Each structure stands twice: as C-alpha cells, then as structure tokens.
Amino acid sequence: MGAQLRAVRRRIRSVQSTAKITRAQELIASSRIIKAQQRLHAAAPYARELTRAVEAVVSRSENIDHPLTQPIVSPTRAAVLILTSDRGFCGGFNANVLREAQSLRALLEGRRIETVTYVAGRKGIGWHRFRGREMAAEWSGFSDIPGHENATEVASSLLEAFSRPTLEGGVDEIHVVYTQFVSMLTQQAVVHRLLPLEIVQTYEEPPAGPIPMYEFEPSPVDVLNALLPWYVESRLFQALLDSAASEIAARRRAMKSATDNANELIEQLSREANKARQAEITQEISEIVGGANALADATRE
C-alpha cells in the first residue's frame, strides 16, 4: 500500500511540473498575441492601398497584356508555398495547413499540373524531409515574428520561378497555403492563388468608393511592372503576419487546454492518494487493535 501511495505522489509532482510549463507557455503566448495583432492591423492599410492602386491601373486601362495578369490556358507547373511554424506546442496549427496543402496538391495533380513545393517553417520542412518530399526552397526562423525582408526574400524566389518558362524549371501559377487569423478562438487554413492575378469584371462600385481617374506615364504596363512586385511582397507579408498571429493564438489555446487537463489530472490523482492514505491508516488501526486484543487475551490466560 505504501508503494502505491509513493507512486501516486511521484506522478502528482510530475504533472504539477508539466502544468507549470504549460501555464508559462500560455502566459508567454498571451503577451505576444497582442503585438502580433497590432502588426497585422498595421500592415493592412498599406496592402489595401497597394491593391487599390493595382485595381486602378487594370480598370482604367484597356487591353492590359502583362504576364502577371494573364492566366495560362493550359498550365503545366504550379508553385505551392506552405507557411508553417518553427516551434511546436500549437495544437493542430501545422496539421491543418499541411492537410490543406495535400488537398491542393491532389486537386492540381487531378488537372495534370505538376506541383513545386516551397516551405516556410521548421515544422513543415521536417514534415517534407521525413516523407522524402522534394522542396524547391525552404525558409525558417521567422514564423512568429516575420519581417518585411523575409517576405521580400520569399517573393523574389517565387517571382523568379514565375518569370522562367516551364521547360526551364519555371511555373505557371503560384498558390499560397497559410492560416488566416479570424479571431482569438478561430483560425482557418486557406488557399489563395497569388499569381496570375484574378481579374473580375463588375459594374458595382468598390466598397472603398469609386477608383480615381489616373493618368499613367510612361504607360500602364510600366506602372504595373513597378507595382506588381510590391503587390506580391505585400500579399506575402500579410500572409506571414496572418500565420504568425494564428500560430500564437493556437499555441495559447493549446497550452490553456493542456494546463486545464493537467489540473484535472492532479485532482484525480490527489483523490487517489487520499484513498491510498486512508487505506493505510485504516490498516494501521486494524493492526493496532488486533495486536491489543491479542495482548489482552494473552494476559487473561
């Protein structure tokens, strides 16, 4: 009985140590999520105005023929950029992104389009290496605090592949798979086609109001040549910030769940220890009473 009590107490101490670690991780994530949301909201106006400028060039110019805006009739190769985390303890964050990437690959292969994989984040890189999946490029070390220089590096690699013919190792399309931050409780894995741009003809007024009448010099194509690389960088930077905020929110939720589970387990183990201790006390009392009775009987004889 004493061995059982010692084993339960050792397990309680072990779970308490785990609960302290998960609680600390939860507090760290709670302190970082505010800054991640602030960075995400601060980058939104720039991306919005840059998108509006690109829309103005395309909508106010006729017969725009630019490689970044003209879709390929029969694409043969597509780049898939997957944004994962560098660290764990974030629940199903990486599993959801990788599952969405797998679905995208199956869809593209069903259309007979070869996929070229680009991965950001150590967890995604390790997942592909373990399964022997080839990667065209990989980046890591900035999943929780991405900088604009990181988005520029990724965008340069993708644009360089998009500018090459497919026969020389280039791609016809670029897709991004990442986790979109909706709220502290909701983050969802999404797929966006980054290039070529999707141009939709509509007669409805944009939500931000009518687009101003611009005059482009020297030409709309030259303006697009200057704007589109910035546009791609801003979209990638926004995706990186979304992924970073989602990662921290997922880690906070996962660590809170782990802490709650540890506290519940401690309560169960404490009840088991109390039962074992009570059984020991009852057994000791029974032994004392039995010994006293035996001594009394011996004395009377």
* pLDDT one-digit tens code per residue, 137-155: 999 999 989 998 999 999 9
Taking Cα atoms as reference points, which of 239, 237, 254 lies closest to residue 30? Answer: 254
Counting as low any pLDDT under 70, the low residues of the chain are 1-2, 58-71, 198-214, 216, 300-301
- DSSP for residue 167: G
For residue 288, count CB atoms less than 10 angstroms from its CB and return exposed for 0-12, middle for 13-18, buried for 19 or more. Answer: exposed
Burial class (CB in 10 A: 0-12, 13-18, 19+), 272: middle
3-state helix vs strand vs coil in the chain, percent to 5:
60, 10, 25
Residue with token string 């169960």: 268
> Counting every residue, how long is the chain?
301
Q: What is the pLDDT of residue 59?
A: 67
- pTM comes to 0.83
Q: Tokens representing 32?
A: 């970082």
Q: How confident is the model at residue 211, as a pLDDT? A: 62
176 Rama sector, left if φ>0, alpha if ψ -120 to 50, beta otherwise? beta
Question: What local confidence, expressed as pLDDT, does residue 108 receive?
Answer: 92
Which residues does residue 195 pair with via DSSP β-bridges, in sequence order?
A: 174
In this structure, how many other beta carbons lie within 10 angstroms of the beta carbon of residue 54? 20
Give me the pLDDT at residue 272, please: 82
Phi, psi torsion values for 209, nearest 5 degrees = 105, 170
Fold of the domain built from segment(s) 65-250:
Pyruvate Kinase; Chain: A, domain 1 (3.40.1380)
Q: Where are the domains of the chain?
A: 65-250
Whether the Cβ atoms of residue 22 and residue 244 lie closer than 8 Å to each other? no
How many C-beta neighbours within 10 Å does residue 265 have? Answer: 16
